[in-house]
């Protein structure tokens, strides 16, 4: 019997990527795909998976009246962000650890964008509760099965939450400039991802 990788994700596109770009590269594995943990249990049909491959972000039903942030508000917020000119200003005359100072300034720009991204996601009801809930269910019902996250939008705070919750690993979904490009990148990344998953299953 082939080891089973149980993939739980709320996105049809992500399921299509796993089905057509990842699973075909792993004839030694069986993929069971589901949108919810309950559906996964039904599809497993009393079998025990060798690994759970979990999406992290999903729609939070407890968010009341989710909405998209307007472009005007985003423009206003972004206008107040540190600029590249501020990053480079005075670096030529800076005395001390130049590399560290440069990276601190550049990260300040990244941090503004990161915080804005999290805020916008919260407004539309997207957060990590979906994935963490599925992890909790996996731990409860299949305590000996490793579970890893396979995510695209997660940030550093999500990674901290994942590992505090006992995840066995974290892998980043490739992201291209379009769906077609994302599909191409996923196909190229698949052998490496599968090698990592086999290592975890064998550990």
Check: CB of residue 51 under 8 Å from CB of residue 147: yes
CA 167 to chain centre: 13
Angle between helices 37-44 and 129-141 (to 10 degrees): 40
Specify the residue for token string 């005007």: 72
Q: How confident is the model at residue 155 (pLDDT cuts 50, 70, 90)?
A: confident
Please tell me the distance from the alpha carbon of residue 153 to that of residue 55, in angstroms, as a whole number: 10
Looking at residue 126, the DSSP 8-state letter turns out to be: E
R_g (Cα) of the chain, nearest Å: 20
pLDDT at position 83 is: 94
> What are 117-139's pLDDT values in tens digits?
999 999 999 999 999 999 999 99
HSE-CB of 180 using CA atoms within 13 angstroms = 0
Q: What's the average model confidence in pLDDT over 178-197?
A: 97
Q: Is the pLDDT of residue 203 over 80?
A: no
Nearest C-alpha neighbor of 159 from the set 132, 133, 179, 136: 132
Nearest C-alpha neighbor of 134 from the set 124, 142, 126: 142
Looking at residue 184, the DSSP 8-state letter turns out to be: H
pLDDT at position 153 is: 85
pLDDT at position 176 is: 95
Nearest C-alpha neighbor of 141 from the set 17, 8, 11: 8
Please tell me the distance from the alpha carbon of residue 197 to that of residue 203, in angstroms, as a whole number: 10
> What are 79-105's pLDDT values in tens digits?
999 999 999 999 999 999 999 999 999
């Amino acid at each position: 019997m082939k080891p089973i990788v149980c993939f739980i994700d709320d996105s049809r596109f992500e399921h299509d990527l796993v089905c057509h770009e990842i699973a075909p590269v792993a004839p030694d594995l069986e993929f069971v795909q589901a949108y919810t943990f309950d559906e996964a249990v039904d599809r497993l049909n009393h079998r025990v998976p060798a690994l759970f491959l979990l999406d992290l972000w999903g729609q939070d039903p407890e968010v009341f009246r989710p909405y998209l942030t307007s472009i005007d508000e985003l423009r206003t917020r972004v206008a107040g962000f540190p600029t590249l000119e501020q990053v480079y200003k005075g670096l030529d005359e800076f005395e001390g650890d130049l590399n560290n100072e440069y990276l601190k300034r550049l990260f300040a720009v990244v941090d503004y964008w990161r915080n804005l991204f999290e805020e916008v996601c919260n407004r539309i009801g997207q957060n990590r509760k979906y994935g963490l809930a599925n992890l909790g269910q996996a731990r409860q019902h299949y305590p000996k099965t490793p579970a890893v996250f396979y995510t695209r939008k997660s940030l550093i705070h999500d990674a901290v939450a994942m590992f505090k919750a006992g995840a066995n690993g974290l892998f980043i979904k490739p992201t291209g400039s379009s769906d077609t490009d994302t599909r191409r990148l996923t196909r190229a990344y698949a052998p490496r991802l599968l090698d990592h998953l086999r290592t975890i299953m064998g550990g």
